[in-house]
Structure 1
Amino acid sequence: MDRLQGYAEILDGAALNACATRQLTHSDPGLSVADAYRIQKLSVDRRLARGERRIGVKMGLTSRAKMLQVGVDEVAWGRLTDAMLIEEGSAMSRVRFVHPRVEPEVAFLMKAPLSGRVTGAAALAAVEAIAPAMEIIDSRYENFKFSLCDVIADNTSSSGLVIGPWNDPAKDFSNLGVILEINGFVTEVGSTAAILGHPLRSLVAAARLVAEAGEQINAGDIVMAGGITAAPSLAPGQTVRTTIQGLGTVTFQVEA
């Protein structure tokens, strides 16, 4: 555990100081997925000890393309805290991050706890609302390069989230058009179906994976379903906007 605690301190310090670090697996190629999740928890626990509050979970590697790229057949998950929240329409400071990128996503707001192996119907029944959202991802590793174990240990690159208007989850959100714009120019186009074929499957997977870690998704939690398109880099002076068909628009700016 001392070894894993040391890695957690390294990653926490890299995030806190916006300073890139070497991949853990470069010096420890035997690092396992189980080790990586322990490191993630130890690192996030350091944030909680500083006064941050857990507000939900995020899913990663939820597109088939990303699974193939990393060479896995399982999604990954990370933890969200209130310090990651960026108010919709406001500005985020670029200096807080190492090399941030942005992904359009769907967010779930939970009205009931969810944990373990559940059906899609049971997962949907626990949802209060859905929203267009964006996640700021920011690997703490040099050159944004990492293995599966590295990225899990690094809280699956999660760094920020922006949530748009909440909608009735009874809407069909299985295959909605998605447009990501930067400074008014369309940068990425996709569909909510890119998230495991249906974003609800991501929520089902989240319930199972969180339970395997001895935790649960709580009422009031936010669950980020995973990236819909490629993730372009962010730079000062940008206005970033995601529109999801039928759900609305979410926007933020990037400042120096």
Structure 2
Amino acid sequence: MIDTAAVAEIVDSAAKNAKAISQLSENGYPLSLAQAYQVQAQSIARRLERGERLIGIKMGFTSRAKMIQMGVDDLIWGRLTNTMLLEEGAELDMKNYVHPRIEPEIAFRLKQPLKGEVSLLEAMAAVEAVAPAMEIIDSRYENFKFSLQDVVADNSSSSGVVIGAWQQPSCDLSNLGMAMFFDGEPVQIGSSAAIMGNPYRSLVAAARLAAAADMTLEPGWIVLAGASTAAEALRSGVHVRLETEQLGVAEISVAAQ
């Protein structure tokens, strides 16, 4: 029997102290996927006990290619807390991360609760605003080696989010061009179509998956729909800018070490 609370303490300590840990699945903790989500919930509960607030969730594996690569047939998700929300245009410190990467996303802010099986139209009607966003993902495992269960236990690698200006949800999100630049040079170019063909489908899935954990997506919460391109490794001193069709920009800098 695996003590998931003890594993949650290991994962939480790694995130809090930005220290790499051994791969759980190969070091005495062969978690099932259900146990991995239990570890995630317990590790985030430790953060909430320290005063953090839950502000939403992030979706992962939202492209078919990524699902095939990881050998899964459904999305994964993680939790967002207020300390993960980074000020747009500010600087982040690499010392707070182990293997930080950044990827372009679409963010939703809800005005109505969502839970369980909802239609695409119901999901769209629950959205108050949309924005360009970038997620900081950071696997806390040594040598960047991990299994699906390891990823999920580690809050699906979610570590931070940068959100641009919120916009009215009036534009068609199904095929927006998205380009991410490092110091003015393009490093990733893609489309919001890579997010399940339409980012709103990711919101539908978010309501379903959260309900399986007896969670409701609450008004005011943020839902990150998933990445539109591959992630790019961050480096000291770089300025990162995301440009999107119709939704505008989001940017952040990395402090020089």
TM-score, normalization by structure 1: 0.98
2:129·2:168 contact (CA, 8 Å) conserved in 1? yes
* Letter paired with 2:70: V
Alignment of 1:1-256 (within 5 A): 3-28=3-28, 30-255=30-255, 256=257
- Cα deviation 1:130-159 (Å, max 9, x = unaligned): 000000000011122211111010000000
The amino acid across from 1:251 in the alignment is E
**Larger CA deviation: 142-151 vs 80-89:** 142-151
Distance (Å, rounded) in 2 between the aligned partners of 1:216 and 1:141: 30
1:222 to partner: Cα distance: 0.3
Unaligned runs of 5+ in 2: none
Amino acid at match of 1:143: N
How far, CA to CA, are the matches of 1:155 and 1:186 in structure 2? Answer: 29
**Distance in structure 2 (CA, Å) of the matches to 1:154 and 1:30:** 14
Q: Using the TM superposition, name which of 19-28 and 146-155 deviates more.
A: 19-28
One-letter amino acid matched to 1:76: I
Superposed CA deviations along residues 40-71 of structure 1, whole A, max 9, x for unmatched, are 00000000001101000000111112111111
Query: Quick one: distance in 2 between partners of 1:137 and 1:230?
Result: 11
- Letter aligned with residue 239 of structure 1: H
- Counterpart residue type for residue 146 of structure 2: F
Give the counterpart letter for 1:187 in structure 2: V
What is the CA distance between 1:30 and its match in structure 2?
3.9
1:82 is aligned with what amino acid? Answer: N
CA distance in 2, matches of 1:103, 1:228: 8
Give CA deviations for 1:163-204 in whole Å, capped at 9, x if unaligned. 001111121011000100001000000000000111001000
Moved more, 126-135 or 63-72: 63-72
For residues 196 and 23 of structure 1, what CA distance do their matches in structure 2 show? 29
Q: For residue 23 of structure 1, report the CA deviation from its aligned partner.
A: 1.2
% of aligned pairs identical?
Answer: 55
What CA RMSD, in Å, does the superposition of the two structures yield over aligned residues? 1.1
Over residues 2-35 of structure 1, what are the superposed CA-to-partner deviations in whole Å (9 max), with x where a residue is unaligned? 7111110011010111111111110246411100
- Aligned to 1:168, the other structure's residue is in SS state coil
Separation (CA, whole Å) in 1 of partners of 2:26 and 2:113 = 39
Letter in 1 for 2:94: R
Kept after mapping to 1: 8 A contact 2:191/2:228: yes
Amino acid paired to 1:189: I
Matches of 2:35 and 2:28 in 1, distance apart? 11
Amino acid at match of 2:191: S
How many residues matched? 256
Report if the CA contact (8 A) 2:2-2:29 is conserved. Answer: no
The 3-state SS of whatever aligns with 1:226 is strand
The CA deviation string for residues 63-109 of structure 1, in whole angstroms up to 9 with x for no partner, is: 11211111111000110000001100010111000010000000000
Q: What is the CA distance between 1:37 and its match in structure 2?
A: 0.4
Q: Distance in 1 between matches of 2:69 and 2:24?
A: 19
- In structure 2, how many angstroms separate the alpha carbons of the residues matched to 1:209 and 1:37? 11
CA distance in 2, matches of 1:230, 1:76: 16
Q: TM-score, normalised by structure 2?
A: 0.98
